[in-house]
Structure 1
Amino acid sequence: MTQSQPPEAVTANPQSLPQGHSASLPQRLDVVYVSFCAEVNPTTTEALLKTCSDLANRGVRQIYLLLSTPGGGVSNGITLFNVLRALPCQLVTHNVGSVNSIGNVLFLAGEMRYASPGTTFMFHGVGFDIVDRVRFEERNLVERLQSIRADQKKIADIIRSRTSFPKDGEIKRLFLQAATKDTAFAKERGIIHEIREAKVPDGAPVVQLVFKR
C-alpha cells in the first residue's frame, strides 16, 4: 500500500440497475450485488462511493460487494472504510480473488465477510513511491517516517477492531513482511466469517464497475 496513487481514467457503469427501478420508486430492493475488481485510487474510490451512495438513496437494504483488489492508496482505503460503514444499509464483502494491501481495510468494512475457496489476503507495510530525483534531508525522512507510522497505526487500529487477532504484536508483524494468508488463516483470525463460493441469485441486480486502464 502506498501513500499516493495516480488516478485512472474511468468508464464506469454504476447505473446497471434492472429496468423499472428508479430513485423515485417507493419499491425497495433487498440486495444489490456490486463487483469491484480494481486498484484503490482516487478515481476508483469516487466511483465505488457514488455507486454505493446511489444504491443507499434508492433504499437498498444490503450491498453485496464482490471484491478483488491489488490495493492502492492508504487514504483512499480508509475513506472507503469509513464512508461505506456510515451508509444506512448493510454491507457484505466477499473476496472473489485476492484482497491485498489497503484492500484489506476496504474488505473489513463489511458487517458480514466471506471468501471464496482458494482466495487470499496479503498484508505488508506502508511505503511511498519516488518517481523523480528527490533530495532528502533528515527532516524530510523524519516526516516521511512519521507519516508511515501514522498510517500503519490507523490500519492496525481498524484490523484490531474488526478481527480477532490475539495480540497487537501479530498485527505489527504483518507490516514487516509481505505475508500472503489463505482463507483458513482469515477465518481463524476473524477476517472472514465463512469460506463459501460467491453466488448471485437468478434475477438479482448486479452493478459492474468497469475502469479504463
Structure 2
Amino acid sequence: MALHIVHFIGPINHHSASSIRNNCLQALQNGATEIELHMSSEGGNMTAGFALYFFLKSLPVPLTTHNIGSVESVAVVIFLAGQKRYACPGTRFLIHPLHWGFGSLVAADHSRVSEWRDCLDFDAERYASIFLEATTAAGCPTDIRSNLTGNARIFDADGAVKAGIVHRAVQAQLPAAGSTCHWWN
C-alpha cells in the first residue's frame, strides 16, 4: 500500500484548489493507493470549493480527510469528500450563511441581482444536500439548511462525531519515515 498525504492550510480559492488537485494527481502518478488530505481552512470561494469536492470524489483510490485545525464554510464541503473522515481533538467545523463578494463591481441591474440570489440559493441547497448525504451515510443525518441562511453553527470534534461529520475524533499521526509520500502547497 502506498499512502500519500496532502497537507493543506489556507483559504479556498482557484489557486489553492488547483494546487490540491495537482498534488493528488502527482500522488496518483507516483503510485498512490490511498490519499489522506490533512487540512485546515477558513473556506473561501464557493466555485473553487465545489469543483475541488467533485474532483476529490472522482479519485480512483480511497480518500481520508483529517481536520487538523479548523474547517470552515465551503472547506466543510471539501472535507466531506473523504470516505473516512477524522478530526483532531480541539478542532472545529463552522457552518455559516453563504455570501459572495462582488470585487470591484459598482453597479448591477435587476436581472443580475436575481441571478446572484438564485446562485446563492442553489449553492446553499447543494451544500446542504452534500452535508445531509455524508452525515446520513455516517448514520447521523444532520440538516444544516437553517445554518446556511440564518445563524452559524460550530461543531467541536466530539459534536462532529455526533453529527456524522467525522467518524472519529483522533489526533492525526504521520507515519514514521518510510514509504509514505508527503505533498504540500
- How high is the TM-score relative to the length of structure 1? 0.79
SS in 1 for 2:24: helix
Residue 194 of structure 1 corresponds to which residue in structure 2?
168
Letter of the 1:45 counterpart: A
Where in structure 1 do 4 or more consecutive aligned residues deviate above 4 Å?
Answer: none
Residue 173 of structure 1 corresponds to which residue in structure 2?
146
Distance in structure 2 (CA, Å) of the matches to 1:56 and 1:114: 22
Residue 87 of structure 1 corresponds to which residue in structure 2?
59
SS in 1 for 2:133: helix
Identity %: 29
RMSD, aligned CA: 1.5
SS in 1 for 2:68: strand
Residue 143 of structure 1 corresponds to which residue in structure 2?
115
Greater displacement, 48-57 / 100-109: 48-57
1:61-103 deviation line (CA, Å, top 9, x unaligned): 1111110001011111111111111111111000000000000
Letter of the 1:142 counterpart: S
What 5-or-longer segments of structure 2 have no aligned partner?
none
Structure 1 pair 59–141 and aligned structure 2 pair: CA distance change class (3 A): same
Alignment of structure 1 residues 36-185 onto 2, 5 Å: 36-132=8-104, 134-164=106-136, 166=141, 170-175=143-148, 176-185=150-159
1:1-23 deviation line (CA, Å, top 9, x unaligned): xxxxxxxxxxxxxxxxxxxxxxx
- CA shift, 1:133, in A, is 5.7
Structure possessing the higher radius of gyration over alpha carbons: 1
Higher relative contact order (Cα pairs below 8 Å, separated by 6+ residues) = 1
Distance in structure 2 (CA, Å) of the matches to 1:133 and 1:76: 20
Count of matched residue pairs? 179
Q: Which has the higher helix share?
A: 2
Cα pair 2:13 2:44 within 8 Å, conserved: yes
Cα pair 2:125 2:145 within 8 Å, conserved: no
Distance in structure 2 (CA, Å) of the matches to 1:127 and 1:153: 14
